[in-house]
Amino acid sequence: MKVSKFGGSSVSNASQIKKVLNIVNSDPERQIIIVSAPGKRYDNDVKTTDLLIRLYEKVINNLDYIDKKREIIQRYDDIIKELHMSKDLLSIIDNTLEQYIATLKEQPERLLDALLSCGEDFNAQLIAQYNNSQGIPTKYLSPKEAGIIVTDIPQQAQILNSSYDKISTLKDYKEKLIIPGFFGVSEKDYIVTFPRGGSDITGAIISSGVKAKLYENFTDVSGIYKANPNIIKNPELIDEITYREMRELSYAGFSVFHDEALQPLYKDRIPVVIKNTNRPQDKGTYIVHDRQVNSKNIISGISCDKDFTVINIKKYLMNRQVGFTRKILGVLEDNNISFDHMPSGIDSISIVMRSKQIKNKERKVLNEIRKQCDVDELSIENDLAILMIVGEGMNQVVGTANKITHALAESGINLKMINQGASEISMMFGISVDDAEKAVLSTYEFCYHGIELKNLCDPA
Ligand code: ASP
């Protein structure tokens, strides 16, 4: 059995939905389908999920919300009209929105999750109804009926391990199942959503529960690019990538697949393929447990993410002071700050974190470090970008770091810090945010094609 998930752009209008159902109905193994809310139909369009957030904002600010509600209903009305379906679903949509508003207005966090869930929930009902009307036995199943029971933290749901028994029974249904992505219900029976983009997580949970042989993740690109296509003109696609590589790349800005979706898959080694709804014949990118390394795929992908902050600490004879680092990390813990990297020397240490972690707390944190740690020098730097070079092949081949640093030096990029973990699966370079694009371009061209930036005729 395959579990197939279709993202927002794949289910954004009637013609996309028809494409989706052609894909689904062409393969009897595609038995469980997870759908997102209708996404953007064109560049400046607004996702249904964002329309729902706008509705929520009107409601909690006691403003007239009727126009916002109409806009949402209109999205489904457009689809229903084009598919020549009955309009009955529209009154269900209207009633559900009104019911959530009436019952949860005094509990804003709960109301937000309930409204957010509507985008996928209405779409799943619509798609199941339409496929049934085409003569294919299909059943809409709510996350509650599917057994997706989650923790009770609004917008940060996590699946409870006890859910998997019930989810495993989904493979016994004879009909095709359409399940809305992005949310579950808590033990207290509240609707709780996963983080944004969380339909991928639903697909992963269901795949793990039914022990699917493949989790197909359909989107609007034919796989995962080796680098950001907004920086590199027509980058190559990755054929195969491991879960660990994918995690590193999504951490550093690759957004095709939600990084939290990897966890349920990892345990049972369920392979994922990222495929294109508009070009289902394309092979796609496989995310797997192990892959064969050859001379062409030593590096899987290159990514650069911005908005990092670094705290630099210098202390003469730091290496001889027992407990020095623990005190610094204690300050971060007291301020509820998580950090990502900690490159160090014998007399210095740098702590790198997402800027939003320390925002508005900078002065307090520095003061506490100064007070508790007796440092010689202390500074903080914003505007740091992190270049990540990711590849399982790097621990088997000598010379990758040399290529990367050559490409960066040749482009005049100053390396503020370098970090490589023991797994040798990724190399991290801290650079100035102004160099971010140039760093991706130069490392991509030199590592994949042996071309130095100065010799590249047409930089993207
Ligand atoms: N509709 C949700 C979002 O826009 C979840 C998803 O599409 O995966 O974030």
Q: What is the pLDDT of residue 397?
A: 84
Measured from the CA of 37, which atom of ligand 1 is nearest?
Answer: 1
Name the average pLDDT for the chain.
95
Question: Can you tell me which atom of ligand 1 is nearest the CA of 200?
Answer: 8
Across 335-344, average pLDDT: 93
User: In terms of C-beta distances under 8 Å and separation of at least 24 residues, what long-range contacts does 54-62 make, across chains too?
Assistant: 55/97, 55/115, 56/108, 56/111, 56/112, 56/115, 56/116, 59/101, 59/105, 59/111, 60/105, 60/108, 60/111
pLDDT band at 458 (very low <50, low <70, confident <90, very high): low
Ligand 1 centroid distance, CA of 292 (Å): 33
Cβ pair 7, 48 in contact under 8 A:
no
Q: Report whether pLDDT(259) > 90.
A: no
**CA-only gyration radius of the chain, Å:** 24
> Does residue 290 register a pLDDT over 80?
yes
Considering the entire predicted model, what is its pTM?
Answer: 0.90
**From CA 307, how far away is CA 386, in angstroms rounded?**
9
Pocket test for ligand 1, best of 47, 116, 123, 205 (most atoms within 8 A of CB): 47
What percent of the chain shows pLDDT beyond 70? 99
Ligand 1 nearest-atom number relative to CA 50: 4
Q: Which residue has the higher pLDDT, 293 or 150?
A: 150
Q: Is the model's pLDDT at 338 over the cut of 70?
A: yes
- Checking if the pLDDT of 266 tops 80, the result is yes
Question: Binning pLDDT at 50, 70 and 90, where does residue 459 land?
Answer: low
Residue 161: predicted pLDDT: 96
Distance from residue 337's CA to the centre of ligand 1 (Å): 27
In 3D, which of 102, 96, 106, 105 has the Cα closest to residue 180? Answer: 96
Q: pLDDT tens, 17-56?
A: 999 999 999 999 999 999 999 999 999 999 999 999 999 9
**pLDDT score for 451:** 87
- Specify the pLDDT at position 370: 95
pLDDT of residue 224: 96
Give me ligand 1 centre to Cα 6, in Å: 11
Ligand 1 pocket, residues with Cβ under 6 angstroms: 7-8, 36-37, 47, 49, 119-120, 181-182, 196-199
437 C-beta neighbours (distance < 10 Å), count: 17
Query: What pLDDT score was predicted for residue 267?
Result: 86
Give the mean pLDDT of 260-279: 95
pLDDT at 457: 65
Q: What pLDDT, on the 0 to 100 scale, is given for residue 96?
A: 98
pLDDT of res. 172: 96
Choosing from 182, 183, 192, 218 the residue with most ligand 1 atoms within 8 A of its CB, the one to mutate for a pocket test is: 182
Which pLDDT score, from 0 to 100, does residue 460 have? 52
> For the residues 231-236, what does the mean pLDDT come to?
94
Q: How far, in Å, is the centroid of ligand 1 from the Cα of 47?
A: 8
pLDDT at 167 over 60: yes
- What mean pLDDT is predicted for residues 233-259? 91
Atom of ligand 1 nearest to the CA of 258: 8
User: Would you say residue 424 has pLDDT above 90?
Assistant: no
- Cβ burial 232-264 (10 Å sphere, 16+ → b, else e): beebebbebbbbbbbbbbbbbbbebbbbbbbbb
Q: How confident is the model at residue 420 (pLDDT cuts 50, 70, 90)?
A: confident
**Would you say residue 104 has pLDDT above 80?**
yes
